[in-house]
Amino acid sequence: MIEQDSNRIAGIQEGTLYQGLREYGIGGKIRRLRLRKSMGLTELGKHTSLSPAMLSKLENNHVIPTLPTLLRIAMVFSVGLDYFFEDENSKRMSVVRGNDRQEFHEKMGGQKTTYKFQSLDYKAIDRKSSAFIAEFESMPPEDVPLHEHIGSEFIYLMEGKLGITMEGKETALEAGDSTYFDPSYKHGYRRIGSEPCKAIVVTVP
């Protein structure tokens, strides 16, 4: 009777442990790493000395990997063990509430504010782009400060009229217009007219 009770308790503990580990979605994380590298189960098996059948069981959460097994897989994809135990909810979706946004003033190295902006995605982890709401200030064309950076830039003008100077030439955008350009060329912005000028700006490094 004592032995039966011990086995039952051990079974409950093992089931609880298994359920707790399943919540990390380790199998799905292994599969996503493999697919990102366009790697088949057989190829991954060659790198880890695990059979394709075993890897399939791991990916489908039929088997919970030991730490040495998980380390073998992690080394193939150059990730740390912590990758498999992170909360993926923060990576799937990040929400920034309107009343949480803070406004910053960008002077572009000058004394006068060129535009004010609010980050739309600052809570996102490992983001591959940055999105802002920018409100531009008025100034003479000859006073527009120019800057440059690598990557790409996209602007959608929500309201007003925006002048974008690039390589000495100014292009005007009206509300509803958008532009995608190479920001490695010197460029700058200014509000044209007295009406508020506001845009969504997305940059990709």
pLDDT digits (tens, 9 = 90+) for 102-148: 888 888 777 788 899 999 988 776 678 999 999 999 999 999 999 99
Give the C-alpha distances (Å, rounded to integers) separating 43 from 37, 68, 76, 102. Answer: 11, 19, 11, 48
| Structural tokens at position 65 | 């990997």
Q: Looking at the domain 98-204, which fold is it?
A: Jelly Rolls (2.60.120)
Q: What is the domain partition of the chain in residue ranges?
A: 2-86, 98-204
The predicted structure's pLDDT at residue 7: 45
Indicate the class that CATH gives domain 2-86: mainly alpha
Contact by Cβ (8 Å): 25, 91: no
pLDDT in 10s for each residue of the chain, 205 residues: 544 444 443 444 455 666 667 778 889 999 999 998 899 999 999 999 999 999 999 999 888 888 899 999 999 988 888 888 876 655 667 788 888 888 888 887 777 888 999 999 887 766 789 999 999 999 999 999 999 999 999 999 999 999 999 988 999 999 999 999 999 999 999 999 999 999 999 999 8
Q: For the whole model, what pTM was predicted?
A: 0.59
The three-point CA angle 199-146-148 to 5° equals: 85
